[in-house]
Structure 1
């Protein structure tokens, strides 16, 4: 039976277990030769996988549950959240005071713009939060999500810096160039004139290598060459882009050897802005300068909507929402933040000149003739 002195000693001992912040720690002032297994998780965490669902209602507490991207349920939830956040935040009184139809139109249009921006903010937040789990979203639902996202961009009417850089998070590519070729009916191959923004440093001299210095740790600095062979593909919906380049240095190879090598689809890599992905998957190469991006507005071409109907396209709209933010009047937004390079129309034309001066054009011609969809 414990003595009164023993009870007092234990209670005093417990009091010494509090650290300077007032938190209890049973290892503090423990001089006994004991061994403990480290606790890597927080036993007090109410949401273990940080998916927004507390563990007491989460069906899978260790797996982050993504929102139902691309479903009618998700779209309705986004609309309701945007309308709720809009309510009471926008003062339309001065429009009403003006009277007449024009102020009424301005008021309605302004409301649509504000709500569209709220919808975009909600969806961008969801994508950023669940980015590591987006692979669980089917291609069909992801396309539906992207189509709705693009509609909101059109309603908002402009692409700011945040929206511009967000494009790369929407772009979804095949797992390899070989997979793309095997599903060529879903892709169009662009001619070299419309690939010029993705052929920077087009020079076949290995000693003339461009080094891109980054100010953003997420996008490491790197060097690149042989980009005159880069090919650009856009899916049949006009949204997702894929740019591929040779998977090795072609120096010292004859034109015939280059042709034989590059007409094998397994000898190409898909460009990506994800450095870690490129390190772990030989089907991808890190090149955020020349990477295929994503289109908010499809270029003027024979694209289709997800329901198979012809898509309304406009080169002017594509220029407004996709090209001009990239150029940004000389401010060099480029593809990723913190990585500056000569993304100008002058550089674009120089890239095309390198192609015709240096490349074996028969390689591109061969892929161009593979099928009617490669156009």
Structure 2
């Protein structure tokens, strides 16, 4: 299906309680207008796509308001909920994850992230798909952290201590955080992995061109660097977080 353009109008201030209440009312109204009385009812997807389009527009026009807002979590919960009402996501929604990932509050320096990970605010995670060769650094030393809620990702290079932001190895926002639970695993595959394979991380380089590069995952340098980082995080945890 192709999502039709459906206008959404909200009068309340962006991110206010009333704003989210209006979004809920708008969703119900759009569903009602587009509901069909047969098996292939697409009203849910049409309504959610309209809400997402409106929320994207509002955030881009009020970028600074979200950082310390009382309804910070509610914005992401609402956005992710509507993404998962879609049978598929559009290219626009896929790339918008990069806008959302900026709000993860990850520090620029690895040394600061180590402190956060030591206290459980972020978790060191597999970086298998973030270690493709790059001329600017040795990708064997790339490591990925995911926020405690599973939404935000950030990649650092152990050698440089800096955040990695290039379109080949960058971290991205998860609309449906992964899990060993079958339904969560399926949703993560559908809304995060499949779009990545279709469109890449940004429009600067395709997935096919990314995976053509040699991977440094599994190298001696990668294994040693990751093990040392695990040990360092544990040491910092013992010192600061107990």
Q: When the two structures are aligned, how many residues end up with a matched partner?
A: 220
The unaligned stretches of length 5 or more in structure 2 are 1-9, 238-242
- Kindly tell me: are residues 240 and 140 of structure 1, through their superposed partners in 2, closer, same or farther at Cα, counting changes over 3 Å? farther
CA distance in 2, matches of 1:296, 1:91: 26
* 1:83-102 residue CA offsets vs partner (Å, 9 max, x unmatched): 455665x373xx3xxxxxxx
Query: Which aligned pairs between 1:1-375 and structure 2 lie closer than 5 A?
Result: 67-68=14-15, 72-84=17-29, 88=33, 90=34, 92=36, 95=37, 103=38, 106-107=40-41, 110-131=42-63, 133-134=64-65, 137-138=67-68, 141-171=71-101, 172-176=104-108, 177-184=110-117, 185-191=120-126, 195-201=127-133, 209=135, 224-246=136-158, 248=160, 268-272=161-165, 287-301=166-180, 314-328=184-198, 333-340=199-206, 342-344=209-211, 347=213, 350-351=214-215, 354-357=216-219, 359=221, 361-369=223-231, 370-371=233-234
CA distance in 1, matches of 2:35, 2:189: 33
Structure showing the higher helix proportion among its residues: 2
Counterpart contact for 1:199–1:228, Cα < 8 Å: yes
Bigger radius of gyration: 1
- Kindly tell me: are residues 226 and 139 of structure 1, through their superposed partners in 2, closer, same or farther at Cα, counting changes over 3 Å? farther
Counterpart contact for 2:154–2:170, Cα < 8 Å: yes
- Kindly tell me: are residues 139 and 245 of structure 1, through their superposed partners in 2, closer, same or farther at Cα, counting changes over 3 Å? farther
* 1:144-194 residue CA offsets vs partner (Å, 9 max, x unmatched): 211221111111232221111010111123233333222221111113xxx
Instruction: Return the TM-score normalized by structure 2.
Output: 0.77
Instruction: Return the TM-score normalized by structure 1.
Output: 0.52
Q: CA RMSD in A?
A: 3.1
- Kindly tell me: are residues 91 and 239 of structure 1, through their superposed partners in 2, closer, same or farther at Cα, counting changes over 3 Å? closer
Shift of 1:319: 1.2
The unaligned stretches of length 5 or more in structure 1 are 1-51, 54-65, 96-102, 203-208, 210-223, 249-267, 273-286, 303-311
CA distance in 1, matches of 2:29, 2:128: 44
